[in-house]
Amino acid sequence: MVWFGWGGMFLGIGFFVVLILLIIPLGGTIWWGPYRIPGSETPLDILKKRYAKGEISKDDFERMKKDIQD
């Protein structure tokens, strides 16, 4: 800090703020899975609705479901 003075102090603080802002979302993804917006549908939910409406056959549903889960 002797060489940079106040600028070095603010640079150090800024570095840790950015580091924390990056760790929080990454940590949440690692421990709790990818972030989902509440009320949003997963691909499997959409597939189930399409099958329930009769838009796709049982064979198509099973094939697509397997593709999603792989």
**Per-chain mean pLDDT for the chain:** 79
Asked if residues 32 and 39 have their Cβ atoms less than 8 Å apart, the reply is no
Give the list of residues 6+ apart from residue 53 with CB closer than 8 angstroms, or none: none
Cα(13)–Cα(20) distance, rounded to whole angstroms?
11
pLDDT band at 64 (very low <50, low <70, confident <90, very high): very high
**pLDDT tens, position by position, 7-17:** 677 778 888 88
Q: Is the pLDDT of residue 31 over 60?
A: no
**pLDDT tens, position by position, 39-56:** 678 889 999 999 999 999
Task: Kindly report the pTM of this predicted structure.
Answer: 0.46
